[in-house]
């Protein structure tokens, strides 16, 4: 839930971003759809040019004010494709250098203005690899230190210029692990306090400078739980108000200082629901206009124009 900003926002006086995007996923078959939600009024349009192929289980990365990225995923087979959507035109190109391996169910996080990261996933087996794409060249390197264990089916959280996080996932069993990659060194630590339960299929939202959120997932059943990690202490609380329904594999979008969004997902059936959590109160509303189709394994990125 790739997911960032630069405002150490306190809500009041925070500069609003431009838009959040929910890309790809499965309606029962894979789609190339990219829905765009304007942060000014939460209105939805659908881009005329979607992903370069219909696919699900990608990773999202954001370079706010410049471009958003969808990395990897599953068509009929895993792919290493990285699609780039330029802001503000939303025109799409595909990077000449994709992921270091074709994989799905990976997590993305971002250090906007500097680099985007695609972590973990499943190629022919679960992996701990973290690929890094330098902005603005989009050149790829692979970190010497990957995840603390090979895993997949999770999303990332971003705190611009400070750190990126990977929360939960599946390594043969659901885990509660939260790995933290410090910017700019990319050194990895693992939080002493992980998620409140072992879960996969989480998504991420970020209020950069303030807190990151791990949203929903599957614990043995789908859950509406939202864990909140306060920056910079990384202390964890659980929101009193979770998702409007228990679900997994949603898209996370963030407008730092203003709100985070959880879009679509799977409750036992695919849904188009978009829940909005106002910062800093974390109060929840549900948008009148959801995704353009009910789908799961959709991924988010955002343009916070900063």
| C-alpha dist (Å) from residue 72 to 81, 112, 191 | 5, 20, 27
Query: Average pLDDT in the 254-268 region?
Result: 96
CB neighbour class for 115 (10 Å; exposed up to 12, middle 13-18, buried from 19): buried
Question: Phi-psi region for residue 25, left (φ > 0), alpha (ψ -120 to 50) or beta?
Answer: left
User: Does residue 167 belong to any structural domain of this protein?
Assistant: yes
pLDDT digits (tens, 9 = 90+) for 105-142: 999 999 999 999 999 999 999 999 999 999 999 999 99
Helix or strand (DSSP H, E) at 171:
none
Helix or strand (DSSP H, E) at 170:
none
pLDDT digits (tens, 9 = 90+) for 179-207: 999 999 999 999 999 999 999 999 999 99
How many domains, in total, are found in the chain? 1
In this structure, what CATH number is given to the domain that contains residue 50? 2.120.10.80
User: Does residue 252 belong to any structural domain of this protein?
Assistant: yes
The whole domain housing 165 covers: 29-303
Q: Which two tokens stand for residue 66?
A: 């410049």
Alpha helix ranges (H) inside 8-150:
none
pTM of the predicted model as reported, rounded to 2 decimal places: 0.94
Helix or strand (DSSP H, E) at 292:
none
User: Does residue 181 belong to any structural domain of this protein?
Assistant: yes
Which residue, 191, 185, 193, 241, is CA-closest to 216?
241
> What is the chain's Cα-based Rg?
16
The strand pairing partners of 182, in sequence order, are: 163
Contacting residues for 96 by C-beta, under 8 A, at least 6 apart: none
User: Does residue 204 belong to any structural domain of this protein?
Assistant: yes
Tell me what pLDDT residue 306 has. 64
User: Does residue 88 belong to any structural domain of this protein?
Assistant: yes
User: How many CA atoms, within 13 angstroms, populate the side-chain half-sphere of residue 113?
Assistant: 12
In contact, 201 and 218? CB cutoff 8 Å = yes
pLDDT over 70 (residue 14): no
User: Does residue 10 belong to any structural domain of this protein?
Assistant: no
User: Does residue 23 belong to any structural domain of this protein?
Assistant: no
User: Does residue 158 belong to any structural domain of this protein?
Assistant: yes
β pairing state of 222-230 and 236-238: antiparallel
pLDDT digits (tens, 9 = 90+) for 58-106: 999 999 999 999 999 999 999 999 999 999 999 999 999 999 999 999 9
pLDDT over 80 (residue 13): no
- Rounded CA-CA distance 93/272 in Å is 27
């Amino acid at each position: 839930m790739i997911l960032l900003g630069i405002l150490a926002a306190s809500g009041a006086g925070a500069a609003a971003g431009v838009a959040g995007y929910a890309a790809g996923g499965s309606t029962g078959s894979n789609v190339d759809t990219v829905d765009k939600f304007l942060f000014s009024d939460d209105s939805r349009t659908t881009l005329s040019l979607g992903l370069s192929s219909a696919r699900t289980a990608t990773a999202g990365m954001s370079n706010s004010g410049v471009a958003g990225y969808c990395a990897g995923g599953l068509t009929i087979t895993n792919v290493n494709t990285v699609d780039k959507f330029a802001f503000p035109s939303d025109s799409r190109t595909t990077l000449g250098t994709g992921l270091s391996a074709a994989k799905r169910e990976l997590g993305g996080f971002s250090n906007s203005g500097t680099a985007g990261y695609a972590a973990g996933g499943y190629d022919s087996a679960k992996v701990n690899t973290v690929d890094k794409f330098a902005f603005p060249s989009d050149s790829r390197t692979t970190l010497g230190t990957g995840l603390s264990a090979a895993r997949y089916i999770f999303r990332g959280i971003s705190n611009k210029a400070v750190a990126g996080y990977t929360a939960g996932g599946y390594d043969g069993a659901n885990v509660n692990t939260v790995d933290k990659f410090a910017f700019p060194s990319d050194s990895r630590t693992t939080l002493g306090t992980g998620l409140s339960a072992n879960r996969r299929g989480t998504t991420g939202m970020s209020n950069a400078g303030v807190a990151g959120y791990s949203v929903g997932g599957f614990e043995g059943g789908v859950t509406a739980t939202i864990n909140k990690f306060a920056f910079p202490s990384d202390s964890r609380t659980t929101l009193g108000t979770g998702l409007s329904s228990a679900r997994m594999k949603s898209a996370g979008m963030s407008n730092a200082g203003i709100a985070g969004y959880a879009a679509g997902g799977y409750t036992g059936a695919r849904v188009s629901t978009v829940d909005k959590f106002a910062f800093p109160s974390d109060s929840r509303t549900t948008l009148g206009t959801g995704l353009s189709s009910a789908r799961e394994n959709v991924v988010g990125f955002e343009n916070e124009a900063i």
